[in-house]
Amino acid sequence: MVLQTDGSIEDPRVSERERVSKAAGVVGFYTLLSRILGLVRDMVVARFFGAGMAADAFFVAFRIPNLLRRLFAEGSLTIAFIPVFTEYLHQKSKKDAFDLARAVLTLLAMVLALVTVLGVLFAPWVVRLQAFGFGGSGPKYELTVLLTRITFPYIFLVSLVAFFMGVLNSLRHFAAPAAAPIFLNVGIIAATLIISPHLSEPVVGLAVGVLIGGVLQILLQLPWLIQKGVSLKPCWNPGHPAVRRIGLLMLPAIYGSAIYQVNQFIGTLLASFLPQGSVSWLYYADRLMEFPLGVFAIAISTAALPSLSAQAAAKDLTEFRETLSHSVRLTFFITIPAMAGLMALGQPVIQIFFQRGAFDSLSTVMTTKALFCYAVGLWAFSANRVLVSAFYAFQDTRTPVKIATVTLFVNVGFSLLLMGPLKHAGLALATSLASSMQFFLLLFCLKRMQGVLHLRPILVSAFKSLAASALMGLCLYFLFLGWRGTGGGSFSRLVFMTVVLIVAGALGYFALAKLLGCRELGSMKDLIRPLSKRIR
């Protein structure tokens, strides 16, 4: 217990849990805005460029720096940097930590500059490798090379954004880093509407918009970095021991990101052997899954990593255990009902978002099957991110990568086994089953680390959430069936009924959770409070 200046007594564990919940609320709010604006961005791009040669060229060109971003920047760099930087903050001094940040930034900028120059110079060969079907000459190939050269510097910009995000998150500032992706969408939308109409090749405006978005993301971070006292003055010290540690931690993290990309590639490859439309049905279902994953799971894991890193650096296993348990329980409390809701109301949600034009009722049914099977593993997808953060906090990037490698082979095995009888839905179910196994392997390895994890509070909380969610989901499903049995009605009635069911389901779940004595209800208030303040 800690005595406050006003004479009150505060439990530091409760305070830390509140900080994680509030930070998750901030990250979740801006992530939701980014996802919504991303949908608007896709609609604008589709409106102006459709699915023709120019759109194909841009998507291929942008995919290349985007792939590098996922491999080197937002994932591996952040998870390798935050634990080491946090350790310096707590075990040395702020000056030592900021000197480390300057050394990393200087080396990172030089490496990124070299990669960018090489990417621009070798763009023709990069395009031939990435889009072999475009050939080695002709208008489509030449346009893709041009767009690749324009967009390639984005890897430089977004990697700096990821580095700044690591610094600010370690200093417990989450708003600006979480809001940064919004500005990429703003840049692309603005360039499409303002720049593209004035160019002889309008799609070049999209590529310019990517760079504008990257610059805006950096400019957003700078005032907060300056306010925190972080100096951006170059400091050439590649021999700094912590720089070497960060580099060593990044290697397995990069490998882990590569495994994820290979997993995605194999899934698409297997789906290509199934009936036409299978790849698209899986894609649309995955897009819907990204909303609860991005808004809640990623938000909680992002908010938890700095706290876990600080407690690991201080060797405070009691606090670490409390924070990890709280993060996993909060993740289950949110994602288990989301899982039940997607299973019960997946069909009307897909109808509302996608069923128009070439996306017919058959596509809705097939996408619903994929979404149902993906939703089976939502709890595991989400919890895995939190558990992996616990390993990163101890600067252990190897164990999660080893488990991810095992999971890859398990996923392929389940996919080959299930794609025959269940078609594309079997591939989605295989992903869920493999993620569930990944969760239990991560849990087993954490359990072996003495004092790091107590299962009982997590299991009790998960059982309560599952009981409340199952009852809620069944009620929603039968209510929807009853409404559909009356003939359904117009599109506006479908939207209205779906919104009513979602709101009723949420209220019913919270009421059941209160009856069951779920402690996470209090944490939900901390999570929602930042959202309500920003909405007002």
pLDDT given at position 95:
87
Give yes or no: residues 232 and 162 share one domain: yes
- Asked if the model's pLDDT at residue 456 lies above 90, the reply is no
Angle between helix axes 175-190 and 203-227 (nearest 10 degrees) is 160
Answer for the pair 214, 161: CB distance below 8 angstroms, yes or no.
Answer: yes
Distance (Å, whole) CA 262 – CA 280: 18
162 in a structural domain? yes
Task: Take residue 69 and report the two structure tokens written for it.
Answer: 């971003």
What's the pTM value of the predicted model, to 2 decimals? 0.77
> Per the domain annotation, does 250 fall within a domain?
no
Burial 421-431 (b: 16+ CB within 10 A, else e): ebbbbbbbbbb
162 and 222 co-located in one domain: yes
Determine, yes or no, domain membership for 521. yes
* Residue 481 located in a structural domain: yes
The answer, yes or no, to whether residue 109 has pLDDT greater than 60, is: yes
* Average pLDDT score over residue span 87-105: 87
Q: Do 125 and 179 lie in a common domain? A: yes
275 and 232 assigned to the same domain: no
**Is residue 22 in some structural domain?**
no
Same domain, 206 and 311: no
Give the residue numbers spanning the domain of 372.
Answer: 260-536
Mean pLDDT in residue range 105-111:
90
**Is 347 domain-assigned?**
yes
As a whole number of angstroms, the distance between CA 321 and CA 390 comes to 10
- The answer to whether residues 486 and 452 belong to one domain is yes
Is the alpha carbon torsion for 167, 169, 172, 174 positive or negative? Answer: positive
CB-based contact 43:357 (threshold 8 Å)? no
User: Is position 20 within any domain?
Assistant: no
- Residues 389 and 381 sit within 8 Å (Cβ to Cβ): no
DSSP single-letter state for residue 199:
S
Both 504 and 388 in one domain: the answer is: yes
- % of the chain beyond a pLDDT of 70: 88
Per-residue model confidence as pLDDT tens digits over 113-122: 998 999 899 8
- In the prediction, which pLDDT does 432 show? 92
> Among the three residues 238, 270, 291, which one is the final residue of a domain in this structure?
238
Q: Say which range, 201-215, 237-251, 314-328, has the weakest mean pLDDT.
A: 237-251
Task: Work out how many domains the chain is built from and give that number.
Answer: 2
Residues 400-448 pLDDT 10s: 888 988 998 999 999 999 998 999 899 999 999 999 999 999 998 988 8
- Is 297 in the same domain as 204? no
Q: Kindly state whether residues 278 and 184 are assigned to the same domain.
A: no
Report pLDDT digits (tens) over 353-411.
Answer: 878 766 788 888 998 999 999 999 999 988 888 888 888 888 887 888 889 889 989 99
Say whether both 93 and 225 belong to one domain. yes
Cα–chain center distance at 14: 27
- In a domain, residue 419? The reply is yes
Same domain, yes or no, for 411 and 533? yes
Residue with the bigger pLDDT between 387 and 280: it is: 387
Residues 207 and 329 in one domain: no
In contact, 326 and 513? CB cutoff 8 Å: no
User: Would you say residue 178 has pLDDT above 50?
Assistant: yes
Closest CA to 484 of 472, 495, 494, 475: 494
